[in-house]
Amino acid sequence: MELDSLYQEVILDHYKHPHNKSLKPHPTIQVHHVNTSCGDEVTLNLHMNGNVIDAITWEGVGCSISQASTSVASDLLKGREITEAVALIEEFQTMVQSKGTDRGDENRLEDGVAFAGVAKFPARVKCALLGWMATKDAIVQATTKEEK
Ligand code: ZN
């Protein structure tokens, strides 16, 4: 797999030194997502403070793309309001599913744009999305839980 070397460095750096990788106890919601096509797994704890994401912590195993991408998501989405976080997740999803036509907005997705090149490798798209979809799932569950 050939990615831009700068982007490859960002991914490797997050893979080797993952951010927020240690589950914080007493989450608002915990989710466990698996990407069976690659064998990636992530357990993610979402901590909400009202409408704002207070923390995203996680544990996982799998390929460098899945683990690095979860690290980036946990950084980028922390401190965001729900609507903002969901919008960013959707932007990231659009980018990695664009088959390379959407390079992503670095001002919004920050290190997330390093995964734009993954869009050219359909088999790896699910790897890149794992942590982001887990976060989205946790947000939806947290929102539903609050309405009850
Ligand atoms: Zn993978």
Statement: residue 148 has pLDDT above 80: no
Ligand 1 centre to CA of 124 (Å) is 6
Q: What is the mean pLDDT of residues 24-48?
A: 97
Report the CATH number at residue 75. 3.90.1010.10
| The two structure tokens encoding residue 39 | 């064998």
Residue 127: domain span: 3-147
Ligand 1 centre to CA of 71 (Å) is 14
pLDDT tens digits, 67-125: 999 999 999 999 999 999 999 999 999 999 999 899 999 999 999 999 999 988 889 99
Ligand 1 centre to CA of 80 (Å) is 26
Ligand 1 centre to CA of 122 (Å) is 11
pLDDT-derived band at 6, boundaries 50, 70, 90: confident
Residues around ligand 1, an ion, CB closer than 5 A: 38, 40, 63, 66, 127
90-123 burial, b at 16+ Cβ within 10 Å, e below that, comes to: ebbbebbeeeeeeebeeeebebbbbbbbbbebee
Q: Three-class SS of residue 26? A: coil
Number of domains in the chain: 1
Q: Indicate the DSSP class of residue 81.
A: B
Strands across the sheet containing 52-61 = 29-35, 40-49, 52-61
Statement: residue 1 has pLDDT above 70: no
